[in-house]
Amino acid sequence: MLTGATGFVGQAILEKLLADYPTTRMTLLIRPKGSLTGEARLKSLLRKPVFSKWRERVGQEEVDRAMTERISVIESSMGSVAGLPADLDVLIHSASTVSFDPPIDEAFKTNVGGAVGLYEALLATGSDPHVVHVSTAYVGGINKGTAVEASLKHSIQWRDEMAAALAARVTVEASSRRPEVLRKMIADAKLDNGKVGPHAVAVAAEIGRTEWVTKRLVDYGRTRAQSVGWADVYALTKSMSERVAEELWAGNGHRLSVVRPAIIESALKHPFPGWIDGFKVADPLIIAYGRGLVPEFPGLPDSILDIIPVDIVVNATLAVAANPPAPADPKYFHLSSGGRNPLTFREIYENVLKYFRANPIPDEQRGHIRTPYWDFPGARAIARSLRTGERANKLLQRTLLRLPSTQTTRSFMRQASARQTDLELLRAYSDLYQNYTQAEIIYDDSRTAELNEQLPQDARQTFGFDATEIDWDHYLQEVHFPAVTTLMRTFSSRPRAKVQAPKPLPENPEAVAFFDLEGTVLASNIVEQYLWVRLASLDRAKWPQELANLFGSLPRYLAADRRDRGEFIRTFYRRYEGVDEQALRDLIHDTVGDVLLQRIRPEAVRQIRKHREAGHRTVLVTGAIDVLVEPFVTLFDEVVSSHMHSKDGIWTGHLSKPPLVDEARAAWLRLYGTREGVDLSKSYAYGDSIADRSWLELVGNPQAVNPDAALFQHATQKHWRIHQWSDHNHSRIDTLGELLRGDTVQRTSSIPALGPSPKETTHE
């Protein structure tokens, strides 16, 4: 029986049994995943590359026969094991978490609770198979010197540790709901999502709380492990699972062998050189170095980085399985290379440097990435440098979020985001790997070597596991590094797509294109609109006073806008108190409307036309006042705007209803979609501000137009379409006629409209 058959080592063991042990029958414990049954997962598994040589050699008929005659599947998870067969000769338990730093409760549930459930279910069968418990060499903890192949000597009780680990989740969840923690989550959420809306703030605060819980539980695990002498919670829980096997299985008079592999990497020979299933322990660091992302690393150059190819691990595990110890007398085997064929961290670095200097990774801007030299300055110096880089980049990002959005600031934002990713990667690698790259421990593998010597000479080529036969330069340069960089190189070497003319928008009468006005269709904002209106209605002698008053109020308006878009609109529109609405309409019609029309972006008009040609309904949705929107209504099928409260035709300075911005606009959009039968998943929305995020997210095709820094950052992360539309227009309004089509609307100058007069609505 084999657990963990879908994992890296489990796949390799299953393949070896199928390929070279034709009379062996196997039972696999496979957990259903989503809608996939255990049998379906097995069929999918047998199509993976690890089985390709075997499939080619035996043919599909033999593969089908193996599925029906040689392999049985038990659908179960490790924590709740279904009834096991009573006729097992050997059980190889290789299932475990693959993460070094999971939350403490998850690590204990998988590695310790899984072992408990398995061995209790095995005891219930009354059978006596030889159990081969797959552990890790790092169960010995943070020590110096030589680790022997023997039971671990410590006094840590696995039952107490597991109970505490499971209780930690309850404790941390309760702590995360304390007012002081929640207040910080709310403050952080407001900083990033305040302009999006209160619901977005609440969602972000809850996401922040759950992330806080996860980080706290990860810290619980790491700190608890280090407090009792282990590098991380993975090594701690694997050592606890050894205790489970010793107590529940060997302690009840059964046969137990424990194999402890070191860092398992790609195959040396079988099933073919370089076979690997995803990146393993050392590989992300190798890739990051090749990409130039790791300028230094906190490792000791003379420490032993104990790597062992997966096919050696498989052969050794099966040899152990075929040689059971006496009952109640467990035996331990180190599957490692550091004792008799050591490879230092510096030698790994020199090999990686040599490989990537000979095979550099392509870079679109610089031709090829040049990998850095390491001086090994020590963990403290690297930690200081990393902290400085993190603080500087965080300050840069905060500054950019407050600056006006331009091509330059967006370019800096893109660079800062990339730098943030690189710093997070380096931080994660430093925290995760430094205990392994600073290790001063050597794993004795005398018992494993002795077992290999017992193999007949003619069987060693197929079944041998002698780590001294590994030529590290050949393995690293010719086998392992090419294997782990293949996918990355395939992606990097793809030719860049040629710039093609934009495709016509797909026709869909159920789709709608929603447009924001200020900053999107119009290269203007409500402050500039007010300025045109106000100056047009004043004698020139009063202009300086008005301008001084407006500019003096700008800090207050900017502060309100940073907090909430609706607050800014309400605050600014108080300047319209006392305005005669009809006089303003006349002014817009006769003079100011033409000025505002000059601020329309030609690209916006072209895009509106494309949507009309595709049969999409076009809707302008804005928090601007309806009077100020009148010059643009003929561009759209429908206009939704705000209205000022008036008394006897005179504006009071207050809106008649809350402004239609951020989440209020999102709520309107949902209602509109339901009421009008609109397919929002096929619809489009155009906005320029982070305040537009909540309603842009509702459509299937969100479009960011000249986005501010925060929206640019979000759109980049979400892979939204980003437009850079020109703020410059022709000096004469008549030239807009080249872009527009339809009937004309008479003003002091005429402007051809896109179609019939739109339906104008409020936002009830």
Where exactly are the structural domains of the chain? 2-492, 512-525+580-761
Predicted local confidence at residue 298, as pLDDT: 67
Task: Please state the rounded mean pLDDT for residues 531-539.
Answer: 79
Task: Please state the rounded mean pLDDT for residues 634-656.
Answer: 91
Task: Please state the rounded mean pLDDT for residues 653-682.
Answer: 92
Higher pLDDT, 114 or 491: 114
Higher pLDDT, 378 or 320: 320
Least confident of 182-186, 260-264, 348-352, 393-397: 393-397
- Binned at pLDDT 50, 70 and 90, residue 360 comes out as confident
pLDDT for residue 209 is more than 50: yes
Instruction: Tell me the whole-structure pTM to 2 decimals.
Output: 0.79
Higher pLDDT, 416 or 689: 689
92, β-bridge pairs = 2, 132
Can you list the positions of beta strands (E) in 249-296? 256-261, 263-265
- Cα separation, 65 vs 55, in Å, equals 12
Look-up of token digits 């909430």: 564
Higher pLDDT, 587 or 495: 587
The domain 2-492 belongs to what CATH superfamily? NAD(P)-binding Rossmann-like Domain (3.40.50.720)
If we measure between CA atoms, which residue out of 564, 560, 530, 526 comes closest to residue 547?
Answer: 530
The SS3 of residue 232 is coil
What's the CATH code, domain 512-525+580-761?
3.40.50.1000
Tens-place pLDDT, residues 48-67: 999 999 999 999 999 999 98
pLDDT averaged over every residue in the chain: 85
- Cα separation, 756 vs 358, in Å, equals 66
Q: How far is CA 674 from CA 510, 670, 700, in A?
A: 12, 6, 15
Tens-place pLDDT, residues 307-318: 999 999 999 999
Give the DSSP H/E element, type plus range, for residue 155: none
Tens-place pLDDT, residues 443-499: 999 999 999 999 999 999 999 999 999 999 999 999 999 998 885 655 444 444 444
Tens-place pLDDT, residues 683-732: 999 999 999 999 999 999 999 999 988 898 899 889 999 998 987 654 43
Residue 122 · residue 249 · CB < 8 Å: yes
State the DSSP code for 69: I
Least confident of 189-193, 502-506, 520-524, 665-669: 502-506
The SS3 of residue 687 is strand
Task: Please state the rounded mean pLDDT for residues 4-32.
Answer: 93
CA dihedral 281, 283, 284, 288 (to 10 degrees): 140
Predicted local confidence at residue 429, as pLDDT: 65
Residue 569 · residue 708 · CB < 8 Å: no
Query: Nearest 5 degrees, angle CA 130-CA 134-CA 139?
Result: 130
Tens-place pLDDT, residues 211-245: 999 999 999 999 999 999 998 999 999 999 999 99
Tens-place pLDDT, residues 398-413: 777 667 667 777 777 7
Portion of the chain with pLDDT greater than 90, in percent? 52
Higher pLDDT, 156 or 283: 156
Q: How far is CA 508 from CA 318, 613, 681, 682, in A?
A: 61, 10, 11, 8
580, β-bridge pairs = 650
Task: Please state the rounded mean pLDDT for residues 644-658.
Answer: 91
If we measure between CA atoms, which residue out of 234, 238, 244 comes closest to residue 281?
Answer: 234
pLDDT for residue 580 is more than 70: yes
- Cα separation, 208 vs 172, in Å, equals 14
Establish whether domains 2-492 and 512-525+580-761 are of one fold.
yes
Residue 680 · residue 669 · CB < 8 Å: yes
pLDDT for residue 162 is more than 90: yes
State the DSSP code for 128: -
pLDDT for residue 143 is more than 90: no
